[in-house]
Amino acid sequence: MKPLNQLTATEIVAATSAGRVTCEAVARACLEHIERREPQVLAWQYLDPEQVLARARALDRGSRGGPLFGVPFGIKDIIDTCDMPTEYGSPIYQGCRPMNDAACVALGRRAGGILMGKTVTTEFANRHPGKTRHPKDPRRTPGGSSSGSAAAVGDSMVPLAIGTQTTASTIRPAAFNGCVGLRPTFGALSCSGVRQAAGSLDTLGLIARSVEDVALYHDVLLGIDPRPIPAAPGRLRIGVARTHFWTSVEPTYQARIEEAARALARAGAQVSDVTLPPAFERIEDAHRWISSFEFVRNFTHEIEHHWDRISSDLRDYRLADGIGCPVERYTAALAAAAECRAMLDDIMRDFDVLITPSADGEAPIGLASTGNASFCAIWTSTHVPALTLPLFTGPNGLPLGLQVIAARGRDRDLFAAGRAITSMVPH
Amino acid sequence: MKPLNQLTATEIVAATSAGRVTCEAVARACLEHIERREPQVLAWQYLDPEQVLARARALDRGSRGGPLFGVPFGIKDIIDTCDMPTEYGSPIYQGCRPMNDAACVALGRRAGGILMGKTVTTEFANRHPGKTRHPKDPRRTPGGSSSGSAAAVGDSMVPLAIGTQTTASTIRPAAFNGCVGLRPTFGALSCSGVRQAAGSLDTLGLIARSVEDVALYHDVLLGIDPRPIPAAPGRLRIGVARTHFWTSVEPTYQARIEEAARALARAGAQVSDVTLPPAFERIEDAHRWISSFEFVRNFTHEIEHHWDRISSDLRDYRLADGIGCPVERYTAALAAAAECRAMLDDIMRDFDVLITPSADGEAPIGLASTGNASFCAIWTSTHVPALTLPLFTGPNGLPLGLQVIAARGRDRDLFAAGRAITSMVPH
């Protein structure tokens, strides 16, 4: 049997529910792994082993069980918790103690999960990095803004973690860390208790090590009894969306995606190229103005009272953009995104899913930036669900993801396609 | 000159900016009126006169001015404030002190406004009433859930207040209290720092005593320099939307609306009847399941940890609905709302605005309920902006509103139409 910290959530629940393993044993295995690895990875903003073990023992004593019975999970520190500090990646909020759990935290706990701790976020889930390093190479960024969540799951510290995504903040770090990452359909899972960055774009992000786990966690966070992933269509209609960013994709990564497309066709999928209309070339710009305009309004309090404790990364880019953005440009950007959303709805009538890069390559060297976010801006702005699958390895031995896109509201079909694609692409 | 507490925000800013009146004098006038009236109205959850006066004096000493320079405003106690308790209308949160201001609070303060205090909300902005009474008749409800905000503005305690709306929580109390109330286009103004009830429906609500003030406050909350209300079209195209709830409208209220329609036609508007498609008859039901399903998820923490301190009003209705709602019913309800949204977009191509009742009549006698919410469910669920104008008086001498609806995103045109309609309907 694999070490307990390497089990998926689905495997843990099977073991704890059958009484084969205690919740405490699972928690201890994860805590011991964290103790060994945390000095290098620095994934955790807050972690109190005694608190975790007390919760695990209480679960073992109780009779409630639940769909996440005994599953440790991490929560990005942009999300409120009632019994752990929530600091939003900013010195302004050192020691901040909200009075309640965000919806996603409370739902995970109600399902029998064990909140392991708070994972490192970039400052306010924006661009200024936290302390986390890539678990496989400490010179490299783990990606962001859900840096700690992805590093913790990728390094087998926990099987599940929640992040958020306003641009690429879940898909990118999940891909960099060899995780399965889900950015659900916009609006599908509650962000109540999550510090808002840009309300027109923000979603939760789910990070796990299998598609089954992402589907399980999705249902827990929707507050329903988990359902099995449906069967994928016999002949999956897959569009290869290279997008206008294709030329900036690392050549070996391009090659892996092309090989995957051929493998999928060989395995029986109907694979064809998709060229997005020219309007999609302007969507990254639209995304920039939507997110900046809204971010600046949402952080009015911090701008007014704590300007000196905001990083220059944030002040000189996002805030400068948002402060300088005329409302007409913002309104035009919203209209441009809505136009692309309608066009993508049309395009998706011909496809079950699109496949596309999750990033431009492996996690880059350097800790001052969390990497290129362009490969998510189209999908984030159009509110479609996106799943990254850890199917490839890059030239430096680091993970590369395949991003899979479905139509809005088709998250469950996306899980089906994700599972099918994982089985069809050799990896 | 009117007493300072009776001035509109626009009038106050003109006076303070010209140096004719100090911010302190305005604040004192409002505080003195509150002192006289609060024992009967009970609009305030938190109010500290010294804190208010200190802020007013600081504004008088400063040189910043601003579009709300010296304007006192109230904030519904479902919205976070950094220097006043925020209790969400629930004993669970007694003394709760958030670390920051919600976006709408910080934007109002940055504009030079004076946060007067926290106004009474129903429990979690849902159905269980707070202590507030109707200013004109203490046996009657002020409406809810933004009870204190509407009573405070209606009673001239403050010229502006913020509420929220998930069903009828701004339009209904604003109408009951003779205020102008705005439910902006869904998503148009940031709800960051506002406790979420149902994310698919929640918006801020703006309450004032003139259309000009609502427009001014709207721009402040959008974080832009306020702009003048545009001119209304020369021949305003007005649809009279009686809706399938018409037979439950008080007969004298029906008569006032019919008279208003005739007056508008006489004044040069193009007035015609609008019959909404049958799908709209199911939208209140859809609204019920959307709001209940989402509400229950958002309050998982309270349900798990504080069940005994939740009112039976909330437990037996909203929570029971949400707990019992299968996800299929929720998904179908979302689809039904989206279908009506698209149909209403089409209908609105032929009209600048629709007019419709704001409620079923005057504020009813009794404090156990905040009144009938049916007259807002259609518009809330379809995400269109709604404005209530205090144009009529009912048989008991209490205010009745005319609700004016525009297409999504047309909030500014709604202000134009609201101002024009106010001038065209004798009142």
Q: Quick one: what percent of chain A has pLDDT higher than 70?
A: 100
Cα→Cα distances B237→B28, B268, B354, Å? 44, 10, 8
Distance from CA of B336 to the nearest CA of A (A): 14
How many CB pairs lie under 8 A apart between chains A and B?
94
Convert B189-218 to b/e letters by CB count within 10 Å (16 or more is b): bbbbbbbbbbbbbbbbbbbbbbbbbbbbbb
Contacts with A107 from chain B: Cβ below 8 Å: 297, 300
Note the Cα A325 to chain centre separation in Å: 28
Distance from CA of B304 to the nearest CA of A (A): 7
pLDDT value of position B248: 96
Contacts with A81 from chain B: Cβ below 8 Å: none
Looking at domain B7-427, its CATH superfamily turns out to be Amidase signature (AS) domain (3.90.1300.10)
**Partner residue opposite B222 with nearest CB, options A302, A305, A327:** A327
Among B59, B107, B192, most A C-beta atoms within 10 A, so best to mutate, is: B192
Q: Which residue of A has its CA nearest to B219?
A: A327
pLDDT value of position B63: 85
Tell me if residue B358 is catalytic.
no
Interface ipTM above 0.90: yes
B388 and B371 in contact (C-beta within 8 Å)? no
Out of A118, A136, A145, A311, pick the active-site residue: A145
pLDDT value of position B35: 98
Tell me if residue A381 is catalytic.
no
pLDDT value of position A341: 97
- Contact flag B301-A103 (C-beta cutoff 8 Å): yes
Burial zone of B85 (CB within 10 Å; 0-12 exposed, 13-18 middle, 19+ buried): middle
The maximal CA–CA distance of chain B, rounded, in angstroms, is 61
pTM score:
0.98
pLDDT value of position B103: 98
- Contact flag B297-A222 (C-beta cutoff 8 Å): yes
- Contact flag A99-B96 (C-beta cutoff 8 Å): yes
Q: Which residue of B has its CA nearest to A410?
A: B331
Q: Quick one: what percent of chain A has pLDDT higher than 90?
A: 99
pLDDT value of position A1: 77
B76 and B158 in contact (C-beta within 8 Å)? no
Best CATH choice for the domain A6-427 from the list 3.90.1300.10, 3.20.20.100, 3.40.50.180, 3.40.50.300: 3.90.1300.10
Q: A265-275: per-residue pLDDT in tens?
A: 999 999 999 99
Closest CA to B373 of B389, B384, B357, B349: B357
Out of B90, B118, B136, B145, pick the active-site residue: B145
Out of A146, A149, A169, A374, pick the active-site residue: A169
Q: Which residue of B has its CA nearest to A107?
A: B300
Average pLDDT, chain A: 97
pLDDT value of position A427: 87
Distance from CA of A204 to the nearest CA of B (A): 13
Query: Chunked in runs of 10, what are the mean pLDDT values of chain B (427 residues)?
Result: 95 97 98 98 98 98 94 98 98 97 98 98 97 98 98 98 98 98 98 98 98 98 98 97 96 98 98 97 97 98 98 96 98 98 98 98 96 95 98 98 98 98 95
Contacts with B199 from chain A: Cβ below 8 Å: 187, 190-192
pLDDT value of position B110: 98
pLDDT value of position A413: 98
B417 and B380 in contact (C-beta within 8 Å)? no
B322 and B293 in contact (C-beta within 8 Å)? yes
Out of B90, B146, B156, B169, pick the active-site residue: B169
pLDDT value of position A320: 98
- Rounded to whole angstroms, the Cα distance separating B412 from B417 reads 9
Q: A45-104: per-residue pLDDT in tens?
A: 999 999 999 999 999 999 889 999 999 999 999 999 999 999 999 999 999 999 999 999
- Contact flag B190-A96 (C-beta cutoff 8 Å): no
Instruction: Please give the helix or strand (H or E) that residue B182 lies within, else none.
Output: strand B180-183
Q: Where are the domains of chain B?
A: 7-427
Answer positive or negative: Cα dihedral of A274, A276, A278, A283: negative
Sequence-ordered list of residues with C-beta below 8 angstroms from that of B213, at least 6 positions apart, any chain = B8, B9, B10, B159, B160, B180
Tell me if residue A423 is catalytic.
no
Average pLDDT for A327-333:
98
Backbone angles phi, psi at A404, to 5 degrees: -120, 135
Q: A115-170: per-residue pLDDT in tens?
A: 999 999 999 999 999 999 999 999 999 999 999 999 999 999 999 999 999 999 99
Q: Give the 3-state DSSP-derived string for chain A, with helices as H, strands as E and coil as C.
A: CCCHHHCCHHHHHHHHHCCCCCHHHHHHHHHHHHHHHHHHHCCEEECCHHHHHHHHHHHHHCCCCCCCCCCEEEEECCECCCCCCCCCCCHHHCCCCCCCCCHHHHHHHHCCCEEEEEECCCHHHCCCCCCCCECCECCECCCCCCHHHHHHHHCCCCCEEEEEECCCCCHHHHHHCCCEEEECCCCCCCCCCECCCCCCCCEEEEEECCHHHHHHHHHHHHCCCCCCCCCCCCCCEEEECCCCCHHHCCHHHHHHHHHHHHHHHHCCCEEEECCCCHHHHHHHHHHHHHHHHHHHHHCHHHHHHCHHHCCHHHHHHHHHHHHHCCHHHHHHHHHHHHHHHHHHHHHHHHCCEEEEECCCCCCCEECCCCCCCHHHHHHHHCCCCEEEEEEEECCCCCEEEEEEECCCCCHHHHHHHHHHHHHHCCC
Closest CA to A175 of A371, A18, A390, A25: A390
Q: A185-232: per-residue pLDDT in tens?
A: 999 999 999 999 999 999 999 999 999 999 999 999 999 999 999 999
Q: A376-412: per-residue pLDDT in tens?
A: 999 999 999 999 999 999 999 999 999 999 999 999 9
Contacts with A196 from chain B: Cβ below 8 Å: 103, 190-193
Contacts with B190 from chain A: Cβ below 8 Å: 196, 199, 294, 297-298
Contacts with B107 from chain A: Cβ below 8 Å: 297, 300
